[in-house]
């Protein structure tokens, strides 16, 4: 009888243990609008994780990007997200004006990835060539309180401008802004995205455009280390025939507490070992570099990511 009881107990324990040992981890990748860079990279990252990490099932969610993504992570409604560096810092600090009602204490760093170039694009026939020329014009600044829109406030503020200086302000995502520019209902739009973003390529294929300069002295006045002076190289878009000074900001991949160290370790490892798959999805991924992935992180690293960087001598 004792043998029967022991055998039964062992069988029950085995039945319980088996599904636990092979429990699937769901990983939702939070991205941005489908015409930006976050989305194609998120799709590629999702496929990479699903193909490379055992017992992981993935999905991709298109969102309003940085601010929404970070709030969704805090609510445990996603596992990894793309976000701009200033939004990450604001989320960790709990900056209500930036869209965070309280400190987002559950979010954790995974990697610094590539720089977003703040690209102010104008119709050439609008006569806009400088920031000052935007006064009185119809301008889209990105979805309300998105990472792009927060960037717009800081750039225009550093140039001594406010939204009141514009003739009309639209709060629209990339794709909608471009459609209005094609139809001559907008003069300019600001996009915070990787170089070669599809929305601007689409616009430049049918409309003569100008990239508006953001001089280095304006970048200095922003006064935050995550903002750096950069250039949009000649040839990035059709009709752009000279290097144009602008401002860039580092993007981060962010995860949250509650995910196992082993899963986040593999997420970090696979991203770097199979980076070529991300580059195939969008050229912006060329900016992903193991040497700088753990630098400038405005919040604590997840222990799983930290383990990988220590093994690679990158931390």
Conformational region of residue 80, where left means phi above 0, alpha means psi within -120 to 50, and beta covers everything else: beta
Exposure of 172 by Cβ count < 10 A (0-12 exposed, 13-18 middle, 19+ buried)? buried
Among 140, 90, 40, 64, smallest CA distance to 249 is for 90
Which CATH code, of 1.20.1740.10, 3.20.190.10, 3.40.190.10, 3.40.640.10, is assigned to 116-249? 3.40.190.10
User: What is the predicted pLDDT for the residue at 5?
Assistant: 47
Non-local (6+) Cβ contacts of 103 within 8 A are 91, 92, 93, 94
Binned average pLDDT, 10 residues per bin, the chain of 315 residues: 47 43 85 90 98 97 94 98 93 94 97 93 96 98 88 95 97 94 97 89 96 96 87 95 94 96 98 97 93 92 98 95
CA–CA dist 30, 70 (Å, integer): 9
CATH number for the segment(s) 23-114+252-311:
3.40.190.10
Q: How far apart are the first and last CA of the chain?
A: 58
What are residue 146's DSSP bridge partners? none
Residues of the chain with CATH 3.40.190.10: 23-114+252-311, 116-249
Structure tokens at 188: 């300019």
**C-alpha–C-alpha distance, residues 72 and 140, integer Å:** 25
Phi-psi region for residue 33, left (φ > 0), alpha (ψ -120 to 50) or beta?
beta
What pLDDT score was predicted for residue 147? 82
pLDDT value of residue 208: 97
pLDDT of residue 127: 95
Please tell me the total number of residues recorded for the chain in this structure. Answer: 315
The pLDDT assigned to 14 comes to 44
């Amino acid at each position: 009888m004792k043998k029967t009881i022991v055998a039964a107990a062992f069988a029950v324990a085995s039945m319980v243990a088996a599904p636990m040992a092979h429990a699937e981890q769901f990983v939702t990748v939070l991205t941005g609008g489908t015409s930006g860079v976050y989305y194609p990279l998120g799709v590629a990252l999702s496929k990479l994780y699903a193909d490379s990490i055992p017992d992981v099932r993935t999905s991709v969610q298109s969102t309003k990007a940085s601010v929404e993504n970070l709030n969704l992570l805090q609510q445990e409604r996603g596992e990894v997200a793309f976000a701009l560096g200033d939004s990450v810092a604001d989320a960790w600090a709990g900056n209500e004006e930036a869209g965070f009602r309280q400190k987002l204490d559950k979010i954790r760093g995974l990697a610094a990835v590539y720089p977003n170039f703040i690209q102010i694009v104008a119709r050439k026939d609008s006569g806009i060539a400088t920031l000052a020329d935007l006064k009185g014009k119809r301008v889209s600044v990105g979805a309300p309180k998105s990472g792009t829109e927060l960037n717009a406030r800081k750039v225009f503020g550093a140039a001594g401008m406010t939204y009141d200086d514009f003739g009309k302000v639209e709060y629209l995502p990339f794709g909608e802004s471009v459609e209005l520019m094609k139809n001559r209902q907008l003069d300019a739009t600001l996009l915070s995205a990787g170089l070669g973003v599809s929305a601007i390529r689409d616009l430049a294929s049918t409309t003569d455009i100008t990239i508006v300069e953001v001089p280095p002295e304006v970048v200095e006045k922003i006064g935050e280390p995550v903002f750096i002076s950069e250039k949009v190289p000649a040839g990035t878009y059709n009709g752009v025939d000279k290097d144009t000074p602008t401002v860039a900001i580092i993007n981060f991949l962010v995860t949250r507490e509650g995910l196992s160290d082993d899963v986040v370790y593999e997420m970090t490892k696979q991203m770097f070992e199979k980076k070529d798959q991300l580059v195939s999805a969008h050229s912006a991924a060329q900016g992903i570099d193991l040497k700088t992935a753990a630098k400038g992180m405005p919040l604590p690293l997840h222990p799983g990511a930290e383990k990988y960087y220590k093994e690679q001598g990158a931390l």
